[in-house]
Amino acid sequence: MDNKKELLSRHVKDVKLKKGMSVRELVDSQREIGGFSAQHMIQGIDILKEMLDDKKSFNFFSFPADIIATGLRGMVADSIKHFDAVMTTCGTLDHDLAKAYGGKYSLGSFEVDDNKLKEMDIYRLGNIFIGSDQYGLAVEKYFTEIMNDIYKSKDYKTEYSPSELLREFGKRITDPESILRQAYLNNVPIYCPGIVDGAFGTQIVLFSQDHNFKLNLLKDEIELSNISFDNKTTGALMLGGGISKHHVIWWNQFKGGLDYAVYITTASQYDGSLSGARLTEAVSWGKVKQKAHYTTIDGDITVILPVMFSYLELF
């Protein structure tokens, strides 16, 4: 960055809107607006396009549970076939299962009296309301139903890695909007290193208490290790921080880092948190390559992702 001319070479242009614009036209019209997060969003779109077009790249898609509580679940499910592996948290399984069983989540509000909600047996997840019968009970029933079916099948193995178990669930779920279902149909493994942390995990615990069932987390780790060593080129779209982000970049360090990385977050870096860390910090660790194409987009996934996926036609 020593060439002034070059630094000042791409000029900000005033945006002009017009009637009936498509999402693609709108985004393209913003390519030179020099917007703050908008510029990163457009970089993210371009990096994702390159990553998904790179046939040699093994591409991860990571996300936490809250996204799956929203209607982005359907959009995420539809997009899974474009990725090679999913990394997520237990809550994703809970919401996916509850919804696949017919559980209804409702549009709510952040500004409510949670005591009153408690008295009405309504759970609040941000500005989403969930009747308690639409969630915990739904997960319990559907889990038990499917798990018993797995147990009774002639292929039952007594020991499962999370990805193997989730594949068996995907095989049996019928809802086409389900993430587990789409992952199964498209042969995309779902890794879930913190699988015990939620309703699905608690159900596994309960099931294991009176059935011959073991959970083998290390097996998935070996698979992830193999992915890291087998793929010279890797990429990741990471929604939100926490364990689903960290576990993607963690394993990618062993191959010298991700080649493509797009991270969308609302977290700040000043507190030293993994969630707040920009991807550039991951470069110092070798979790993202120095020459990688990467960008961190600050903002709410529910606003940004639909624009990105619509532009990229990830459905």
- Near a second copy by CB under 8 A: residue from 44, 52, 74, 138: 74
CA dihedral 293, 297, 302, 303 (to 10 degrees): -110
- HSE (CB half, 13 Å, CA atoms) of 169? 28
The Cα 202–Cα 204 span in angstroms is 5
**Catalytic choice (5, 287, 289, 291):** 287
- In the complex, the smallest distance separating the C-beta of residue 134 from a second copy, rounded to whole angstroms, is 8
Which member of 52, 77, 166, 258 binds a second copy (CB under 8 A)? 77
122: its two tokens: 């309504």
Subset of 165-204 contacting a second copy (CB under 8 A): 177, 193-194, 196-198, 201-202, 204
Contact flag: residue 105 with a second copy (CB under 8 A):
yes
Cross-strand bridge partners of residue 293:
260
Ramachandran angles phi, psi of 277, nearest 5°: -60, 130
Q: Return d(Cα 71, Cα 86) in angstroms, integer.
A: 18
Binding-site residue total for a second copy (CB under 8 A)? 134
Q: Is residue 148 close enough to count as binding a second copy by CB under 8 A?
A: no
Interaction residues for a second copy, span 245-284 (CB under 8 A): 246-247, 250, 266-278, 280-281, 283-284
For the bound state, the minimum distance from the C-beta of residue 307 to a second copy, rounded and expressed in Å, comes to 7
Neighbours of 38 (CB within 10 A): 18
Contact flag: residue 210 with a second copy (CB under 8 A): no
Minimum separation from the CB atom of position 275 to a second copy (A): 7
Query: DSSP state, 28?
Result: H
Active site residue 16: no
* Residues catalogued as catalytic: 287
